[in-house]
Each structure stands twice: as structure tokens, then as C-alpha cells.
Amino acid sequence: MARLIETVDLHKTYNPGKPDEVRALQGVSLQIEEGEVVALKGPSGSGKTTLLSLLGCMSRPSSGLVTVAGRDVSRLPERFLTAVRRQTFGFIFQQFNLLRDVGVLENVLLPLYPQECPVKEMRRRADALLERLGLAHRRHLKVRQLSGGEQQRVAIARALVNAPQILVADEPTAHLDSELAAELLEILGGLRDEGKTIVIATHDRFVYDHPLIGRVVALRDGRLAAEAP
Amino acid sequence: MSVTRQLKILEFALAATLRQRGRNFSILLVYTLVIAVLASVLFLTRALREEATLLLSRAPELVVQRIVAGRHDLIPLDYGRVLATIPGVGQVTPRVWGYYYDGLTRSNYTMLGIGADPPEGLALLSGRLPRLPKECALGAGVAGLRGTGPDGDLILVDHRGRTVDLPVTGVFRSDSALLTNDLVLLGEDDLRSFFGLPPDRATDFAVEVRNPQEVETVAAKVKQLLPDTRPITRREILRTYDSVFSWRSGMLLTLFASALLAFCVLAWDKATGLSAEERREIGILKAVGWDTADVLALKFWEGLVLSLTALLCGLILAWVHVFWFDSQLLTPVLKGWSILFPPFALVPSVDLYQLFVIAFLTVTPYVASTVIPSWKTAITDPESMMRS
């Protein structure tokens, strides 16, 4: 397996030099191989979300190195960082982060609007994903008319619509009951089988003990605590 | 950024605008009214200037009046012979005219006496010019107010208080309603008799100057030879009209500027105070791969769609107000405070420069007040969405 993501001595400090300075990450070095499913676990404030946002090119480290597919993205200007994020990553957020007053289809299409993808192709991809996730009959409804589980599936469809190589999920089961959580992990299992690399931040035992997870990386106070096989 | 990409963002912007129907409709309403007021002032001012210019293009280069005790008085016909001796002066025509207040319709008419040669620039709508004694032709406004026309009669009261029955031979039309709308045209002798004017006097003289470059010189010569006269050049009248309209429209525009400023402050306040939902939306867009330029393009299109819609509605509203409803709301200020003149319809006249000025004064501030505050939110790291 080829190395897809690597971090070397990663540091992230918020409000540096100010009284409310927070050292969220302190020297994290990590490698993630292509096709791997990695869970980042740890208590609140351990740095899971910060690490996830750095791996997903949503922000830049204070120091240290992040490479994605061999390319150093640690110091890329915002424009290029966005391009990498758009082409490589799909995101599933804890709160789903959907536009509530917008239709299901439009939410799924969101990542494709600022891309060169033709409108026909956009719709074809979105329709295929909605069909696959059992939401085809809900495509014209507004998001606020959907149940929590359905909203989660819309968020997954949106994360997949740009055919990303890497899927990043932050506490994806936080707002789901155990049945919906199992359903989500089943979907993620299918994506793993297609060769997607998946990084999940979670403190839900049900997730990091699930057979889907290939490796668990534990974080504590912004440092790697231990890795379980 | 490619056209396809821009079109897709525009499509999303349109959907976003429709999504917030209530809020955007109220902004559109206020915005449209602001533009309609500005456009009405500019349309009306321009139309009045056009009317005045058209009217005066047919006026003589030089008019000579007599002044007695600082007031306009009848001028002796002998003065015409003196005027004709001035080098450069062509035809000197005595004119007989006056104003008549019609108590019945509470309107002022301009009454003009004609000799053998009718004035230029008057085209008949129907009928013919008066040829026989006691006949008259009317402007469309007078005919409308008095409910008469060709083959009808116009009954007026002369200077001795006696009613005079004037058969109407025709009703005028003109490219400019200002020229003939309040006009009553009758034979010179009839007019003298009606107003009691002595036969050796005229109201003023129309003086033809062969070389238009010498009008000022001839006017100075007139003043020198006939010190109790006032020569008035066409250029002076045009300048006076221009400054009067400019002053009035300037006054209105100053008032309007305050309204525009208030609207901009409101728009700025609305835009700077991005709601939590709007900030969240921008954060989501950034998180799913929109960059700052994409978000700004979206906000630009949103602002442009709303402001162009308001501009179009405002211009249509102003057009209808000024040219269909005779600018009922602005007429008292811009056309004068008198209500005695018969109403007249202005000839629609708008130029592209004027439209550009209106668009620049209204669209630019709104789009800027939409885009700039969004920029503040759009440049923040999308990481914040991970924590919401």
C-alpha cells in the first residue's frame, strides 16, 4: 500500500502569544496508507478535530509537515489548499452541516458548483449517489423535512459526489442512535471495499471497536498516546 | 474563472435569493422606491430641458421688450424702424400677445395674434388656422379643458367684461406640447380688440439677426439706441431655464441623496450584521470546497441580481410615473408651483448616460455592501465548521 497522508512533528497553536493560547497539537507524526481505515480516538480537547482539519487541508499547521499523496500542503496558499481539499477529500461533519432550507439534491451538488464539471454530469453523479443511499425518492425535499438518519446519508452523498480519494468524518455517530450508527458504518465499509481511505475522529467505542476500523490512533493532550492494531 | 463555473454559481445565487423570499422582497421594495424617486427626478428634469430647448429652438434669436418703471410695457411700433436700421438686423416683426386667466377652468391661456403669416412650427391636428374675423385656433390643452374643438365655440370674457364667442377652426398639435398646449390663436385685430391694445403698440418685437455670432453685439446696440428697452437673447432664456431646472432638480437630488445614504447605511448594516445562518452557510461552502473567490462571486451575483431587479423595476416605475402619470408627485417642484397652466404630457426622452448614472449610484453601493462584509467571513478557515 502506498503512503497517502503523512504528518511530521505537527504543531498547532491557537492564539499564539496571547493569554488564551491553546496548544492543540504538539509534535504529532503519523502515516496513513492508501485504502486504510483509521480511527482517531481520545477525550474532548485531545486534539482529534484539530488533527482531522489539518489532515483534511482545512487549516495549516503552526509548524511541522503535512503531505498528501506526496505533496507538501503545510504552507500552500488558501487557493491551492482549497483545490487539494476539493479534489482529494470528502467530509462528513458531526452536525451534518447541510443547508437546511435547500433541497436534498442541491445539498449533494454543493461541492460541484465551483468546479468545471458540466451540469449534466453533476446531476448524474448526484442521482447515482442518492439512489445508492436510498434517498432517490427524497431528492426534491428540503433537508429540514428529513429524519436525522436521512440527513446523515445526504451528508455522505455530498462527501462522495466529487469522487474523493479520502473520506474524513468527524464524530459521525454523535447524533445517531445505535441502529443508524450501524447503518453508517455499513456504508463506510462499502466505501472501504471500493478502495477509499477513511479517517474517522471519534470517542464512540462502538465505532473504534468496529471491525471496519483497521487502526486506532489515540490522542491525549495534543500528543499521540498509543496506537492499537 | 470559467463561464460555466460562473453560470453555476449564478444559478446557485438565484436559488439562494428565492430561498430568502420575505427578506429579499422587503429590500427589493425599498430599493425600488429609492431608484424610482431618483430616476423620476432625472427623467423629468431631462424631459423639461428637452421641451424647453425644443420650444426655444423656434423662438427668435432676439426679442425686444419695452420697460417702463422696471416693468414690461407695450412697445411703440415706431421702435421697429429704429431696430431695422441696426447693421446685421434682418426682419423685425411686431408681436401681439397676452395672457388670459380663465376663471371657469382656473387656467392660464397664452393668446397670440397673427397677421397674414402664421408662426412657424405649428402643425394643425385638425381643422385650419383662423382666416376670418372672430375665428380662433386652440392648443390641445385648452380644447380639452373647455371641451371644444373644430366647429365648436370658445367663449371668453374680454377686457370690458363682455363675452366674446370665438368659433374654433382648428386644434393644434406639436412635437412639443409646451409650445401650443395653452395657446389660443386669433387674428391680430381681434386680439387688440379683446385686450384693448392701441393700434400703434405691440407686445414686443421679434428681431432676426443675420449672423447668430453677432446677437450679443446687436443686443448691445439696441440697448444703446433705445435705452428704455430690454433685449433678450435666446441663449439667455435657455440659460435661465437650464439653471432653474438644475436648481430645482439639484434641490430634489440633495433631498434624495439623504434617502440614498440612509438606504446604503441600512444595506451596510444588514450586510455587516451577517446572520448566524449566513455565516454558517458561508462556512459550509468553504468546508465543501468553495474558495474565497467562489464565495465572493456568489455574494456578488446575489447582490447584482437583487440590485438589477430593483433598478429595472425602479426605472419602469419612474417611466410610468413621469411619462404616463405626468409626474404627479414631482410636478409641483420641478414644473413650478403654478396650477394655472393646462396640464401637458412630456415627450419621453432618456439617454444612456443618465441610465448609467442611475445604475452607478444605486447598484454599486448595494453590491459593495453585500460583498465586502461577506469577504470578512469568507476568508476565515473552514476549520471553524468542524467545531460548530
pLDDT digits (tens, 9 = 90+) for B214-226: 999 999 999 999 9
Could you tell me which of B224, B214, B204, B209 has the C-alpha nearest to residue B80?
Answer: B204
CB A127 within 8 A of CB A139: yes
- Our CA-based measurement puts residue B314 at a distance from the nearest CA of chain A, in whole angstroms, of 30
Specify the pLDDT at position B179.
67
Could you tell me which of A112, A78, A4 has the C-alpha nearest to residue B383?
Answer: A78
Could you tell me which of B233, B238, B373, B358 has the C-alpha nearest to residue B296?
Answer: B373
What is the number of structural domains in chain A? 1
Residue stretches of chain B with pLDDT short of 50:
337-340
Single-letter amino acid, residue B142: V
Q: In chain B, whose CA is at the least distance from the CA of A87? A: B289
CB A162 within 8 A of CB A194: no
pLDDT band at residue A108 under the 50/70/90 scheme: very high
pLDDT band at residue A118 under the 50/70/90 scheme: confident
Give the helix/strand (H/E) hosting B278: helix B276-287
Single-letter amino acid, residue B260: L
C-alpha of B307 from chain center: 25
Partner residue opposite A93 with nearest CB, options B8, B381, B386: B386
CB contact under 8 A, B388 and A97: yes
Chain A hits for B12, Cβ within 8 Å: 106, 113
Specify the pLDDT at position B207.
92
Specify the pLDDT at position B340.
42
pLDDT, tens digit, 9 for 90 and up, residues A2-11: 889 999 999 9
Q: What share of chain A is helix, strand, coil (3-state, %, to 5)?
A: 35, 30, 35
Q: Which three cell numbers stand for residue B231?
A: 433685449
Specify the pLDDT at position B225.
93
Tell me the pairing of strands A223-228 and B163-173.
unpaired
Residue found by looking up cell 383662423 in the block: B130
Q: In chain B, whose CA is at the least distance from the CA of A78? A: B291
Partner residue opposite A59 with nearest CB, options B9, B289, B383: B383
The pTM of the full predicted model, rounded to 2 decimals, is: 0.69
Does any CB of chain A come closer than 8 Å to the CB of residue B275? Answer: no
Interface ipTM above 0.90: no
- For residue A79, the domain's CATH number is 3.40.50.300
Specify the pLDDT at position B97.
93
Partner residue opposite A95 with nearest CB, options B5, B19, B388: B388
Could you tell me which of A214, A224, A212, A203 has the C-alpha nearest to residue A42?
Answer: A203
Residue A173 has pLDDT above 80, yes or no: yes
Specify the pLDDT at position B237.
77
- Our CA-based measurement puts residue B29 at a distance from the nearest CA of chain A, in whole angstroms, of 23
Q: Rounded CA gap, B61 and B233, in Å?
A: 6
Which residues are CB-contacts of A187 (< 8 A; sequence separation ≥ 6)?
A133, A153, A156
Helix, strand, or coil (residue A217): strand
Q: Rounded CA gap, A77 and A60, in Å?
A: 9
Q: Rounded CA gap, A63 and A92, in Å?
A: 26
What share of chain A in percent tops pLDDT 90?
52
Could you tell me which of B266, B293, B291 has the C-alpha nearest to residue B371?
Answer: B293
Which of A86-95, A125-134, B266-275, B310-319 has the least mean pLDDT?
Answer: B266-275
C-alpha angle B123-B124-B125 in degrees, rounded to nearest 5: 120
β-bridge partners, A3: A33
Burial class (CB in 10 A: 0-12, 13-18, 19+), B180: buried
Which residues are CB-contacts of B224 (< 8 A; sequence separation ≥ 6)?
none
Q: Rounded CA gap, B111 and B182, in Å?
A: 8
Helix, strand, or coil (residue B289): coil
DSSP A103: B
Chain B hits for A111, Cβ within 8 Å: 288-289
Specify the pLDDT at position A175.
77
Q: Which three cell numbers stand for residue A40?
A: 482517531
The mean per-residue pLDDT over the stretch A164-188 comes to 87
Which of A34-38, A91-95, B149-153, B275-279 has the least mean pLDDT?
Answer: B275-279
The mean per-residue pLDDT over the stretch A95-116 comes to 89
CB B111 within 8 A of CB B152: no
Q: How many CA atoms lie within 13 A of B155 on its CB side?
A: 5
Single-letter amino acid, residue B116: A
Chain A hits for B388, Cβ within 8 Å: 93, 95, 97
